[in-house]
Structure 1
């Protein structure tokens, strides 16, 4: 049973920092470290995941969507889902490379990956320079794996891959400001809006305000120094939904978590979420979910 997050009694906290929820699913596929001969020739193929391909030594000729790229030690290739590609030795000699296939449900990161227009990032590029040490760490972890992967190795791999994404974001932000910062700033602004919206969910626990009051989103826009219309427009462009719909989804999630705790009555939950009465909460929950809170509880007990 999921345990609900309950805030401390108002006035008891001396200081507090609310960390926005982190809800990201990462899947890693076909990760491998491989040394091949000069006769290596991998046929044309495509896959539904993203791929990082990193050459450690030697030279690889990789053909992506009928365009040829020569990849040398320290060079990084990023392939998008559906990219057709093949590879072979670039000079007829052996080479070593490391490869990761992945998918991730983080919309901001996917938005970033879709904006990286290059396939090949040479070793002296900002992105390859930032990602190189993390890729080397992944290589070392991979070398330690013999046979079945252990839980600690799996966690270290995932941790290093998330660090890889963090370095990629920072590198992209540097490049974006050196060229055109419009896209990066828009995505970063949308991320700030989302973080503050998640914070509003917890503020509902402390404020005696009904959910459907207009408190919150306009205030966020003002704090960020933008108009409410720009706030809505940027958020929708990046996440494909309005800030208010996103906030509703977050509130629905928290309501379901609380309803999954049998020690809490529906009346208590409506109060925790900031509703003026149980009827108001029940109507809102049914608009979100199509069932009343009690009907939801009944369906999860089946």
Structure 2
């Protein structure tokens, strides 16, 4: 990391700028009877199984893994799996994403993660998951403070997961995974760089008018657009341009909640030359115009 260019700040010690999206797609705890079965499904997010009491079988890639009380399993995105209860069971389950290449690549390279009860890696994860479970409310009425607490606790779980010794293993040889994660990283960081460079003079790039080009990312990786798109869809379950759209929606919503930023500036920062086109796209995404969304979130 470079020092600030401004002479007034050149003696300072900097912390890195973080622009991650940590998403929690909801979770639940449920008591199920022996023989309960959930048919084959997949998700575009990491999925966590924590067996509070009882036992289940999870079948993925034609392999069946038995999970018993205290066991934890983490499935990576886009894995078809089905679940069967072997006894009366209480389980806790949730889905999450952190869109950082280092995290995603490391976890997916490990394959399906299984942390047996009592193992060294299991203990800090159990403590973190029990804190998440404490937020459960039978009335399912949650305040903004509860949601902030969930965000903090999810971050702690991710930290414990990333800090565990699983990352010492040699990654699987997966060139397609590396290509897909490199495409995702290129799209996300280029969009973030463009936004920062538009609004922040300390984040210097030479060309504020540059537009995000997925084809350029393919070119930098020395792969064809057709192959890049195919590999990305295989790993993540949707096209690179859909991923870019998801990022733009999240960034647009975040920026619109800053009242000092004009819609024109936001549209240009997101790469739209025509603010009217941005407004049409935003309404297509959210069923609200940018002005309506901003007013409803003031």
- What range describes the TM-score normalised by the shorter chain of this pair? 0.5 to 0.7
Match of 1:209 in 2: none
Q: Is the 8 A contact 1:145 1:153 kept in 2?
A: no
Q: From 110, 113, 136, give the equivalent of 2:107.
A: 113
Q: 1:129 to 1:116 in 2, by over 3 A?
A: farther
Q: Is the 8 A contact 2:109 2:172 kept in 1?
A: no
Matched, 1:68 2:64: yes
Q: From 285, 292, 300, give the equivalent of 2:208.
A: 285
Matched, 1:27 2:20: no
Q: 1:14 to 1:47 in 2, by over 3 A?
A: closer
Q: 1:72 to 1:103 in 2, by over 3 A?
A: same
Matched, 1:56 2:52: yes
Aligned counterparts of 1:121 and 1:20: Cα–Cα separation in 2: 32
- CA drift of 1:55 comes to 0.3
Match of 2:130 in 1: 136
- CA drift of 1:122 comes to 1.1
- CA drift of 1:251 comes to 5.4
Match of 2:141 in 1: 148
Structure 1: which 5+ runs fail to align?
Answer: 1-6, 184-233, 259-268, 276-280
Please give the secondary structure, in 2, of the residue aligned with 1:256.
helix
Q: Is the 8 A contact 1:126 1:175 kept in 2?
A: no
- CA drift of 1:97 comes to 0.6
For CA contacts below 8 A with separation 6 or more, give which structure has more relative contact order: 1
Aligned length: 216
Q: 1:33 to 1:136 in 2, by over 3 A?
A: same
Q: Is the 8 A contact 2:47 2:76 kept in 1?
A: yes
Q: 1:13 to 1:126 in 2, by over 3 A?
A: same
Match of 1:80 in 2: 76
Match of 2:237 in 1: none
Please give the secondary structure, in 2, of the residue aligned with 1:109.
helix
Please give the secondary structure, in 2, of the residue aligned with 1:71.
strand
- 1:228-251 CA distance string (max 9 Å, x none): xxxxxx9x99745999x9997665
- CA drift of 1:150 comes to 1.3
Aligned counterparts of 1:41 and 1:251: Cα–Cα separation in 2: 46
Aligned counterparts of 1:112 and 1:97: Cα–Cα separation in 2: 26
- CA drift of 1:127 comes to 3.2
Aligned counterparts of 2:189 and 2:157: Cα–Cα separation in 1: 29
- 1:242-267 CA distance string (max 9 Å, x none): 99x99976653333114xxxxxxxxx
Please give the secondary structure, in 2, of the residue aligned with 1:131.
helix
Q: Is the 8 A contact 2:76 2:112 kept in 1?
A: no
Larger Rg: 1
Q: Is the 8 A contact 1:37 1:94 kept in 2?
A: yes
Matched, 1:98 2:92: yes
Aligned counterparts of 1:105 and 1:79: Cα–Cα separation in 2: 16
User: How much is the aligned-residue C-alpha RMSD, in angstroms?
Assistant: 3.9
Q: TM-score, normalised by structure 1?
A: 0.58
Aligned counterparts of 2:203 and 2:54: Cα–Cα separation in 1: 59
Match of 2:223 in 1: none
Q: TM-score, normalised by structure 2?
A: 0.59
